[in-house]
Amino acid sequence: MKLWLLDADVIIDLLSAGIFDDLVERHEVYTATIVIGEVKSFYSSGEKKLINFRTLYVDNGKVKELTANAGEINDILLKIPSLWRGALHAGELESLAILSREEDLIFCSCDALPIRTLPFLDASEKGISIEKLIKISGLKRIELEAKHTEEYFQNNLSIGKVRMVENFKS
């Protein structure tokens, strides 16, 4: 059993694909408090479905809630390039702060910037693409968007590593 820390985009996309419930049955799934508030709807069969994520998944223990304090979030902001600080969403920042604190979690996001931030946190090995998450979890195959692929994830991780080296030199 793996311990997954999921970003809002991942939760929404897995709900839309109809495989989120299978994931939470097979693994321990965690998410940040802010992310819980961000997951308000998803699409199923082309129709927008409203969801109270906290009630359906957190309150009954299917998904575990983790919170980062202001100091932990500030520590993340101090480690990343100043140009990126305003571009990360609050849920992404809180998730990255939790990831830095919790050794056993693996972070899944399909947004470029949080992926690029991982090397700055010495957490390149603590991230995973949706494609790889689905494969490792034995979930049914779904049609993947480009942002879900391992190639996209690794490309953005590589960009982050290059930026880290450039940032270190300056």
pLDDT value of residue 169:
53
Per-residue pLDDT at 98: 98
Ranges of each domain in the chain: 3-169
Under 8 Å between Cβ of 43 and 17: no
Q: H/E element holding 98? A: helix 90-101
Q: Are 95 and 107 in contact (CB under 8 A)?
A: yes
Question: pLDDT (tens digit, 0 to 9) for every residue of the chain, 170 residues total?
Answer: 578 999 999 999 999 999 999 999 999 999 999 999 999 999 999 999 999 999 999 999 999 999 999 999 999 999 999 989 999 999 999 999 999 999 999 999 999 999 999 999 999 999 999 999 999 999 988 889 999 999 999 999 999 999 988 876 54
The whole-number pLDDT of residue 167 equals 73
Provide the sign of the torsion angle of the four alpha carbons 84, 90, 96, 100, taken in this order.
Answer: positive
Q: Work out the burial of residue 107: count CB atoms within 10 Å of its CB; fewer than 13 is exposed, 13-18 middle, 19 or more buried.
A: buried
Burial class (CB in 10 A: 0-12, 13-18, 19+), 129: buried
- 25-39 burial, b at 16+ Cβ within 10 Å, e below that, comes to eebebbbbbbbbebb
Fold of 3-169: Rossmann fold (3.40.50)
